[in-house]
Amino acid sequence: MKALDPLLTTPLRLGAMSILIKLKAASFVYLKEQLKATQGNLSVQLNKLKDAGYIKIVVRFEGNYPLTEIKITSTGIRAFEDHVINLKDCLHL
C-alpha cells in the first residue's frame, strides 16, 4: 500500500483539487465561496499546491478588475488520481 499524498490530506487543499479536477479551472473567488475559506488561508494553501506543481495561478485583468484564475496541471491531475487510488486501497474498496 502506498502512502497518501500529504499535500492532499489537508481538507482545504483536497477540496480545491476536487473542484479543479472537475472544472479544470476556477476563479479564486469561486473556490473561496465553495470551500467557505478565508482569503488568507486559501491563498496559503493554494501556494503550497502551486509550489508542488499541482496548480497554476494566473492573474489577469477583466476590464479594470483583477481576476485570479486557478488551473489544475497534468501533474496535479496525476497526483489527485493517485491519491484517490491510494485512499481506496487504505479503505479496502
pLDDT at 41: 97
What is the pTM (predicted TM-score) of this model? 0.92
> In angstroms, rounded to a whole number, what is the distance separating the alpha carbons of residues 68 and 88?
33
Q: What is the CB-side half-sphere exposure of residue 2 using CA atoms within 13 A?
A: 12
Query: What is the full per-residue pLDDT of the chain (93 aa) written as tens digits?
Result: 688 899 999 999 999 999 999 999 999 999 999 999 999 999 999 999 999 999 999 999 989 999 999 999 999 999 999 999 999 998 887
Helical axes 11-23 vs 74-90, angle rounded to 10°? 120
pLDDT at 27: 97
pLDDT at 1: 66
pLDDT at 93: 74
Structural domains of the chain in order of their starting residue, each with its CATH number:
6-86 (1.10.10.10)
As a residue count, the chain comes to 93
